[in-house]
Amino acid sequence: MAPMKNRSRIYKNFKDAEPDMRNTLPKILYKYRDWSNKFHQTALSVPEVYFSHPKNLNDPYDIRMPLILDYGEIDNPKFYSKIEESVKYIHPELSVGSLDFKIACSNLFDVIKRSSILV
């Protein structure tokens, strides 16, 4: 089986993503509604938007796409340095190099491996 190519991109700000969105998204998006539902009727007449909490979404990939990693990437020291940078951000209270910091890095590494498709 050939490895899957990851087509996702990570943007640091909307201005970078906007040209791709304008070029790839359809001109019109449709959302079907049940006209007998009062909430659906209100959605057309009241200028407000409701966003569901991510925990209430019915598709786990709506909020988190699986990571596709090459084994070679995981073994690369740069990969672990990215984990350390993430832990510094997630746990600013931990001293870099401390036992707690190393445990947090190890835990994050395990989470990434468990939630990844390794090719």
Model pTM score: 0.44
Answer yes or no: is 7 within a domain: no
Expressed as residue numbers, the domain containing 51 is 14-118
Q: Quick one: average pLDDT of 50-64?
A: 73
Who wins on pLDDT, 59 or 37? 37
86-115 per-position pLDDT tens digit: 999 999 999 999 999 999 999 998 888 777
Cβ(104)–Cβ(87) below 8 Å: yes
Round the average pLDDT of the chain to a whole number and report it: 80
Q: Which two tokens stand for residue 57?
A: 């979404």
Residue 53: per-residue pLDDT: 77
Answer yes or no: is 4 within a domain: no
Answer yes or no: is 19 within a domain: yes
Q: Which two tokens stand for residue 100?
A: 């707690």
68-92 per-position pLDDT tens digit: 777 778 878 888 899 999 999 999 9
Answer yes or no: is 1 within a domain: no
Residue 61: per-residue pLDDT: 66
Answer yes or no: is 5 within a domain: no
Q: State how far Cα 96 lies from the chain centre.
A: 26
SS3 at position 112: helix
* Distance in angstroms (rounded) separating the CA atoms of residues 30 and 118: 35
Answer yes or no: is 3 within a domain: no
Instruction: Determine how many CB atoms are found less than 10 A away from the CB of residue 67.
Output: 14
Answer yes or no: is 42 within a domain: yes
Number of domains in the chain: 1
Answer yes or no: is 6 within a domain: no
Residue 67 has pLDDT above 50, yes or no: yes
